[in-house]
Amino acid sequence: MPLVSENSLLENAEKGKYAVPGLFPFDMDFIKIIIEAAEEERSPLIIIQGPEFIEDFGAPVFSSALLTAAKNAKVPVCLSVDHAFMIDEKTFDYVIMCIHNGWKSIMIDGSLLSYEENVSKTKEITRICHAAGIACCGALGEVRRFFPGVRNFKESFKEGFVIPDEVMTDPQQAKKFVEETGVDSLAISIGQYVRSLWEEEKLPVKRTARLDLDRLKAIRKATSAHLILHGSSHVNNEDLQKSIEFGICEIKVASEYGVIWATAVRDVLIKDKNLMFPIDIQKPALEKVKESMIGYMRTFNSSEKA
């Protein structure tokens, strides 16, 4: 099946009241299970990775592998660059690198900048993306996470942690932002956050994050841009499903299956110290990750939508 545009996938999701899963290949071995999961569930799919990882994996080789996998998949697939953070001069070069290597959507993340800087930078990247015939996603509002540069937020998340109002997306500002930048889609902050193994996160992951659904409704009413939720691993499942009802059409997943993979690999190596080949070490972990991905597709109501 040929690659499809992100906008067409998200338009179909909005009409069908489901969310397209955005899944991350942490290395080449993840590509196979991501495609398999989508094909088994007959789910449309967006494969996502950050620009710094694309570069580290070897952009031409990694991108070519994904393009080949997507073109041979039995379900519609789009390749989307995740979180091109506007925190240094490398961002522009990253964007151009990804466009040259065949990626069909760019998320430019200026959420750590002032509103005015975010608008200016996002508008510039949107113009470049549209000239190249691909989609552009902007970001407004901060998602608490462990990535470097995120306002130096070092406090570990407690059970009752709630995202402060001041870092969540403001509906009227979202309307203005979309109008000023021309982005196709908008990644928003409505109460979700990300924890990691660095904070001793263990399985099963704690689904303690609750979404501000009234805020989501107001954002949906204020703008017609496609609305994207990232940082979903710790969100209450009922809230995830309600977010789709109220306008979210793509949900990105990564942290939970990162914990699943790492936990399973450690278990395998402890149980059998004679293993030496990567495929033998990774296979049980990849199967568990695949099960998790399928579970998300069912939660997102994207199964049988391809």
Asked whether the beta carbons of 23 and 293 are under 8 A apart, the reply is yes
- CA dist 10 and 228 (Å) reads 9
pLDDT attached to residue 145: 62
The range of the structural domain enclosing residue 171 comes to 6-255+293-299
Assigned domain for 59 exists: yes
Assigned domain for 55 exists: yes
pLDDT attached to residue 86: 79
- CA dist 250 and 229 (Å) reads 6
The 3 state secondary structure assigned to 286-303 is HHHHHHHHHHHHHHCCCC
pTM over cut 0.75: yes
| Alpha helical stretches, state H, 72-170 | 90-100, 115-131
Assigned domain for 264 exists: no
Q: Encoding tokens for residue 61?
A: 């080789």
pLDDT attached to residue 172: 98
Main-chain dihedrals φ then ψ at residue 108, nearest 5 degrees:
-95, 120
Assigned domain for 149 exists: yes
Residue in 136, 149, 129, 231 with CA at minimum distance from that of residue 186: 136
Assigned domain for 24 exists: yes
pLDDT, tens only, 54-66 = 999 999 999 999 9
Res 220 pLDDT > 50: yes
pLDDT attached to residue 40: 98
Number of domains in the chain: 1
Q: What does the pLDDT average to over 63-84?
A: 96
